[in-house]
Amino acid sequence: MKLEKLNAWLTFSGNIAILAGLVALAIEIRGNTAAVRAQELGAIQEQAQARQMASLDPDFAEAYVRALYSPAEVTLEELVRLVAYVFHYISNLERTYQAYNDGIVRETD
């Protein structure tokens, strides 16, 4: 009789320990998810800031305006810089979209 009671208590305590382990695991996963999310948002923001800084360059701004209003006057070097800027912009959008699809970035972000 005593062994049966002991076995029941050991089983009960084992189940409690498993439940506590699952709760701890869920908390850890939530913390890791928040860290990954923050890291990805930071990287996306860095890309956007780099693109913004490039657009502040007077030579780039002049080439950008020329491309908008008189594209026939854009030199080949300026065209290459403008294409790189657009690809950088699209890359940032793709990265953000992929992070959203992966559940890392929320729609509100």
The structural domains of the chain, with segments of one domain joined by +, span 2-101
Comparison of pLDDT for 47 and 1, the residue scoring more: 47
Percent of the chain with pLDDT over 70: 98
Residue 1 has pLDDT above 70, yes or no: no
Q: What is the mean pLDDT of residues 32-42?
A: 82
* Tens of pLDDT, residues 61-106: 888 888 889 989 989 988 888 888 888 889 888 888 888 888 887 7
pLDDT(18) > 90: yes
Task: Classify residue 73 by its DSSP letter.
Answer: G
Per the structure block, which two tokens stand in for 75?
């030199």
Residue type, 101: N
Quote the DSSP letter at residue 103.
T
Provide the pLDDT for residue 3. Answer: 78
Report the alpha-carbon distance of residue 26 to residue 32 in Å, rounded: 10
